[in-house]
Structure 1
Amino acid sequence: MQKKILLVLIGILFYSINMIKACTIFSCSRGGEVFAAANEDDTTPFTRIWYNPTTRDRYGSVCFGGPDMQVASAMNEYGLFFDFAAANYDISKLKQLNIYKGFLMWEVLGKCKNVKEAIAIIKKYDYNSPSQVLLADKEGNSILINPKGIIEKKGEFQVNANCNSINGKLSCRRPEIVNEELSASKNISLDFFKNILNKTHQEGDLPTLYSTICDLKRGIIYVYLFHDYNNVYTIDLKAELKKGYRIENLADHFPVSFAYESFSKNHSLYAKESILQEMKIKGTDSTIDYYLAESSKQLPQNKNLDSALLEVALQLVKYSWNEHTHGGMWDYWFSFPKGYEIQQYQDARLTSAEKIFNYLSEKENPDLKLKNFIYEMYGYVNLIQGDHTTAKEYYNKSVSNPEDSYKVTLIRGKEILSRIR
């Protein structure tokens, strides 16, 4: 149970692109073509893709990320692209006085058409992630952004990649291979970029979960799952945005793969993902009722069911918030200031999450910190749905014994209580 909770609570204190363990990202403008491409390497499968149509305040976009709905990479309707690679910058050693109170690249994605416009926003703030991001546009411009500043492209291409440890050994050939390939070529094409991705993909414990090639001029994205470059999911972004907002599992766009399924089934989030898939087929309410009934039986085979149900409830809240904010991540989860702004709306997913949180909050649990965390989440979904009385009651429960609460539960709980007293 404790191992599961570590997964549930990962990244609560602040947003960190550190979760992207290793990636190979590059862009190139040559011969009138402009492409950007990436291998996304990580330990957590179940990649999500979500489409965010144009609103009064934001440009339309498509985002890729993990189940936590953090944006790992994205492209907007004007061909502005970004992608992150983990780095080792020690933020604590830098004097950062003007930090953006949220996810800066999300602001850039929604407000900027090109790199020039993006730089105007980025220079206003101190970049406070230990990662490095490559930002490219359809005009052929690109920059690298890290806590120490902005690096503009020199020449026709730019590479954003890192060295990572695999079985105790550093793997640094990936950026070298990209540089060698791009330096030796005269023209660029889809097949050429696919070949580079194939040469730099990873397998084993830190595999390439998915790969993308973005034709920035035409607004087309070619996606490959789990380093299989023979099957492609093609996205015409403008056409897809016309279909409206939606979240999808990336794997649903590809034929069944033994390698991907074997990797996924061995992951600790597999039980949660299986329940979510079952909800699509059998319906949300009936699926939740079934698993709550199974949980009450306390059978040996159900020993990890409560952890999976908690993760399902959190995922439903993340989905709901993502749609409510036109693609944004759950600011409250990451303790961003905007997350404390009390917004009220109704959503069936919140009601479903509330049912699970309520059940888990009433169930006997020797882990008091986890119990108080569940109280906090139950208070939160009631708050968002307008029941301030119940919200106040459960937030008070979550912070009543500080030594028995997670630090983030105390921080968030006290902040919310100060706003609803």
Structure 2
Amino acid sequence: MQRNLLFILIGILFCSIDTVRACTIFSCSRAGEVLVAANEDDTTPFTRIWYNPSTKDRYASVCFGAPDMQIASAMNEHGLFFDYAAANYDLSKLNLTNPYPGDIMWEILGKCKNVKEAITILEKYDYISYSQALLTDKEGNSVLVTPKGITEKSGDFQINSNCNMINGKLSCRRPEITNEMLSGSKENNVDFLKKILDKTHQEGELNTLYSTICDLKRGIIYVYLFHDYNTVYTIDLKSELKKGYRIENLADHFPTSFAYENFSKNHSLYLKESIFQEMNDKGIDTTIARYIAESEKLSPKNEKLNSALLEASLQLIKYSWNEHNSGSMWDYWFSKPNGYNVKNYQDTKFVSAEKILKYLSSTETTDPKLQNFMYEMMGYVNLVQGNKSLAKKFYEKATAHPDQAYNVTIVRGKEMLNRINTLKQK
């Protein structure tokens, strides 16, 4: 397959689970109010919101995140909130020996009502992440969670920001500005926190993609798109959760903005997002058939379109996993231990994803690593749907020549083959 598709895939495969987010996050509990605010700064637009109704095992919640369905921030039905900021911890220098086998903050979101309950989980495991998380509840409790430990709030506010230190000084003033404004006032309301967000937002290659102010006591979330603090989308969490599970594009809740549209159209994921929107409007199968036909006409000059089709197939898999697993991210993609515990179910999104993968893998390619990656993905979608024999064949193909496969494909593929063989022996 074409070189451009290979480059796109390499970027997808080796994207860290802790996406770079140079965010400004802070909680404030005073004057009888408990609010938490955040600027989510990143390079990838197309933010998703997904609502997760309660189950017998988990509390209901709403999550914000990128198209890969990693959670950037979240709030549950009891007013427990967390948000990440990237950090530069050297995990190799820390004595971290007991990691949670999945996403520990996701576990906390589903099982805890407040910070106190969350701490009981955090004390059982090491927090192994390059990100630091602000965790706060409607009672006004707040802690900063890092690989080095837990820092409780002192005073009536707490800040989570991630400016680097250069020559002993912070390389930006976002945390300083936030501290100055919170320390210099006794206010605690949406308008005041919005001013802080405005003062600390970023523009340029790294943008404040969206901002939130959460009223933890009332379960209300105020959302602003692309550092425009004059237009707000208000979420009443209790009311929205009653509507059931769903994934939404955050931008769909705002009027068209030239600045945001221009930024989005110049992003590498724009074509994939356009294909996905067409799937929603005209149907998945109809859209896939149209773009495959277009790709065949353009061949061999179809690098950009084939890249987008591959990304679309992976997005379908991630959406399916999210829907059938209470809103969680696809742990398998990140080689987390819990990701290998495959839950069987049927989903037409898997069928559609495999249709794209079969087409792409049938085209001429000069890169066996890419071919074997697609075999791995076809193995996975068949395994989840209970087709163990076919899944085994694809995984065997994917791992047959280790020198011609991505390391992650070999690691995941061998683990899944071991599990398939173990299941057959029982």
The two structures have a TM-score, normalised by structure 1, of 0.96
Distance 2:291 2:17 in 1: 33
Shift of 1:187: 1.9
1:195-222 residue CA offsets vs partner (Å, 9 max, x unmatched): 1000000000100000000001100000
Q: Percent identity?
A: 69
Give distance in 2, aligned partners of 1:204 and 1:419.
47
Q: Could you report, residue by residue, the CA deviation over 1:83-137 in whole angstroms, capped at 9, with x for unpaired residues?
A: 0111111011111111100000000000001100000110111110021110000
Q: Which residue of 1 aligns with 2:366?
A: 366
Residue 161 (1) aligns with residue 165 (2): no
Alpha-carbon deviation of 1:371? 0.7
**Matched residue, 1:6:** 10
* Residue 233 of structure 1 pairs with residue 237 of structure 2: no
Structure 2 equivalent of residue 16 of structure 1: 17
C-alpha contact 1:100 1:126 (8 A) present in aligned 2: yes
Contact 2:102 2:339 in 1 (8 A): no
Write the letter of the residue equivalent to 1:394: F
Q: Distance in 2 between matches of 1:352 and 1:203?
A: 38
CA contact (8 A) 2:17 2:334 kept: no
Aligned 1:47-66 pairs, distance under 5 A: 47-66=47-66
Tell me the alpha carbon deviations over residues 288-318 of structure 1, each in whole angstroms, 9 at most, x when there is no partner: 0011111112347633111111100000000
Letter in 2 for 1:267: H
**By how many angstroms is 1:170 displaced?**
7.1
Note the alpha carbon deviations across 1:122-155, whole angstroms, 9 max, x for none: 0111110021110000001100000110000000
SS in 2 for 1:272: helix
SS at match of 2:23: strand
The structure 1 segments of at least 4 consecutive aligned residues displaced by more than 6 Å after TM superposition are none
1:6, distance to aligned residue in structure 2 (A): 2.5
Q: Distance in 2 between matches of 1:335 and 1:181?
A: 42
1:171 Cα offset (Å): 4.2
Stretches of structure 1 that go unaligned for 5 or more consecutive residues are none
Partner of 1:327 in structure 2?
Answer: 327
The DSSP-based 3-state class of the residue aligned with 1:8 is: helix
- Would you say the 8 A contact 1:89–1:147 is kept in 2? yes
Q: What runs of 5+ residues in structure 2 fail to find an aligned partner?
A: 422-426
Is the CA contact (8 Å cut-off) linking 2:48 and 2:65 kept in structure 1? yes
Is residue 183 of structure 1 aligned with residue 183 of structure 2?
yes
- Paired residue type of 2:11: L
Match of 1:348 in 2: 348
CA contact (8 A) 1:20 1:72 kept: no
Q: Which amino acid aligns with 2:107?
A: E
Amino acid corresponding to residue 374 of structure 1 in structure 2: M
**CA distance, structure 2, for counterparts of residue 33 and residue 355 of structure 1:** 52
Aligned partner of 1:385 in structure 2 is 385
Give the secondary structure class of the aligned counterpart of 1:72: strand
SS of the residue corresponding to residue 345 of structure 1 reads coil
Distance in 1 separating the partners of 2:98 and 2:13: 27
Query: For structure 1, which segment, 352-361 or 296-305, has the greater mean C-alpha deviation from structure 2 after superposition?
Result: 296-305
The equivalent residue for 2:85 is: 85
Following superposition, the deviation at residue 10 of structure 1 comes to 3.3
CA contact (8 A) 1:20 1:84 kept: no
Residues 299, 371 of structure 1: CA spacing in aligned structure 2 closer, same or farther, 3 A cutoff? closer
* Paired amino acid for 2:399: V
Q: Deviations over 1:154-209 (max 9, x none)?
A: 000000001159xxx97420000110010011121110010100000000010000
What's 1:95 paired with? 95
Residue 44 of structure 1: aligned partner: 44
Residue 390 (structure 1) shift: 1.4
Greater shift after overlay, 193-202 or 353-362?
A: 353-362
Provide the C-alpha distance between the structure 2 equivalents of 1:67 and 1:77, rounded to a whole number of angstroms. Answer: 23
- Residue 204 (structure 1) aligns with: 204
Does structure 1 retain, via aligned residues, the 8 Å contact 2:373–2:398?
yes
Q: Give the secondary-structure state (helix, strand or coil) at the position aligned to 1:51.
A: strand
State the AA in 2 paired with 1:352. Answer: S
Whole-Å Cα distance in 1 between the matches of residues 9 and 144 of structure 2? 35
- TM-score, length-normalised on structure 2? 0.95
